[in-house]
């Protein structure tokens, strides 16, 4: 590893020199994903992925490559980053979280070499490498202002993806799949789509969020209706706010707490009928 500038992020030394990444142990990852809700299709993709990694020899014998590149796309707050933590927890690997926009803005002119450094790290020590805001580099070439710089970065990324092997997993997330370079897109063996929670998923998540907190009988159903159109992240904030109100009043969680919390929080995506 080359010399890297020190930053004040206490976690960084554990990432052995990658100054644009945060390192999470498998245990830390497991703690973060206790309340993950995965719609059936994504759960199936994840389970199959993990199953395959658990029977590598068989795949080698059949000469069938093992999947190791996952792209996740969908709206904010729907569980893309959380899924990367979940994979790391399940595979008992550390998560190396990289913000690509940070690489580009702080190291203009060195984007390609930074990308290579990150992949070199993943080659040398097994991990789940997670590149957030992936569209920042993988945007289709013609959309870029710094055309040459970004074209070089995209080419490096293509090369790194092609050469990516060993025990690490590469994961990337984006809100803007339409802007990903098609050449990059097709290099992913596993693609996961994220969307806002439907009714069933909302009820499941609300139950997890309420947990064993004392609540009135119909609060789950009211909350599920009221939070229609919210992301999981917004739902979490609103339920927490509602719980705080219930605690202040020393009352069980009620529909009125949810309604008040919702009005105060003003989720952008909310679409409730009056």
Ligand X SMILES: Nc1ncnc2c1ncn2[C@@H]1O[C@H](COP(=O)(O)OP(=O)(O)OP(=O)(O)O)[C@@H](O)[C@H]1O
Q: Which residues contact 116 (CB under 8 A, 6 or more apart)?
A: 156, 160
Q: Does 46 bind ligand X (CB under 6 A)?
A: no
Query: Within 10 A of 214 (CB to CB), how many other CB atoms are there?
Result: 11
Listed in sequence order, the residues at least 6 apart from 236 whose beta carbon sits closer than 8 Å to its beta carbon are: 205, 209
Residue 193 zone, left/alpha/beta (φ > 0; ψ -120 to 50; rest): beta
Cβ distance to Mg ion smaller for residue 137 or 254? 137
**Rg for the chain (alpha carbons), in Å?**
21
| 71 part of the interface to ligand X, by CB under 6 A | no
Q: Is 94 near ligand X (CB under 6 A)? A: no
Whole-angstrom distance, CA of residue 257 vs CA of residue 241: 8
**CA 189 remoteness from chain centre:** 17
> Looking at 22, 159, 175, 259, which residue binds ligand X (CB under 6 A)?
175
- The 95-114 contact track toward ligand X, x by CB under 6 A, reads --------------------
The residue nearest ligand X at its CB is 79
Residue 79 C-alpha from the chain's centroid:
6
- Kindly give the pairing relationship between strand 95-99 and strand 21-24: antiparallel
How is residue 44 written in tokens? 């199936």
Q: Tell whether residue 224 is a contact of Mg ion (CB under 5 A).
A: no
**The token pair that represents 181 in the structure block:** 């370079």
Binding residue for ligand X, selected from 19, 24, 77, 255, defined by CB under 6 A: 77
The answer to the question of residue 173 lying near ligand X (CB under 6 A) is: yes
Q: Which residues, 235 to 274, sit near ligand X by CB under 6 A?
A: 236
**30 burial level (CB within 10 Å; 0-12, 13-18, 19+):** middle
Sole binder of Mg ion in the list 42, 68, 78, 81 (CB under 5 A): 81
CB of 120 to ligand X, least distance (A): 25
Q: What residues numbered 184-203 form the site for ligand X, per CB under 6 A?
A: 194
Q: Does 36 bind ligand X (CB under 6 A)?
A: yes
* Shortest CB 201 distance to ligand X, Å: 8
CB of 80 or CB of 220, closer to Mg ion: 80
Q: Which is nearer to ligand X, 113 or 175 (CB)?
A: 175
Quick one: what does residue 22 bind among Mg ion, ligand X, none, with the CB cut-off 5 to 8 Å set by partner type?
Answer: none
């Amino acid at each position: 590893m080359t010399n890297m500038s020190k930053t004040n992020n206490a976690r960084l030394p554990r990432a052995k020199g990658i100054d644009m990444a945060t390192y999470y142990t498998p245990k830390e990852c497991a703690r973060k994903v206790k309340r993950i809700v995965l719609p059936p299709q994504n759960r199936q993709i994840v389970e199959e992925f993990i199953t395959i990694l658990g029977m590598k020899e068989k795949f080698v014998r059949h000469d069938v490559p093992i999947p190791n590149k996952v792209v996740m796309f969908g709206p904010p707050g729907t569980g893309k980053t959380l899924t990367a933590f979940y994979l790391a927890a399940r595979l008992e690997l550390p998560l190396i979280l990289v913000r690509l926009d940070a690489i580009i803005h702080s190291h203009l002119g060195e984007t390609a070499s930074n990308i290579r450094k990150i992949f070199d790290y993943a080659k040398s020590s097994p991990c789940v490498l997670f590149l957030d805001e992936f569209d920042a580099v993988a945007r289709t070439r013609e959309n870029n202002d710094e055309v040459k710089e970004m074209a070089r970065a995209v080419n490096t990324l293509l090369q790194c993806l092609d050469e990516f092997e060993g025990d690490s997993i590469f994961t990337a997330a984006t809100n803007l799949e339409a802007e990903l370079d098609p050449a990059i897109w097709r290099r992913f063996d596993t693609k996961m789509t994220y969307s806002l929670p439907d009714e069933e998923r909302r009820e499941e998540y609300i139950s997890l969020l309420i947990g064993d907190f004392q609540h009135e009988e119909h609060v789950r159903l009211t909350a599920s209706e009221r939070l229609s159109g919210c992301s999981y992240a917004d739902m979490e904030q609103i339920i927490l706010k509602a719980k705080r109100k219930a605690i202040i009043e020393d009352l069980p969680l009620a529909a009125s707490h949810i309604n008040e919390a919702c009005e105060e929080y003003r989720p952008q995506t909310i679409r409730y009928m009056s």
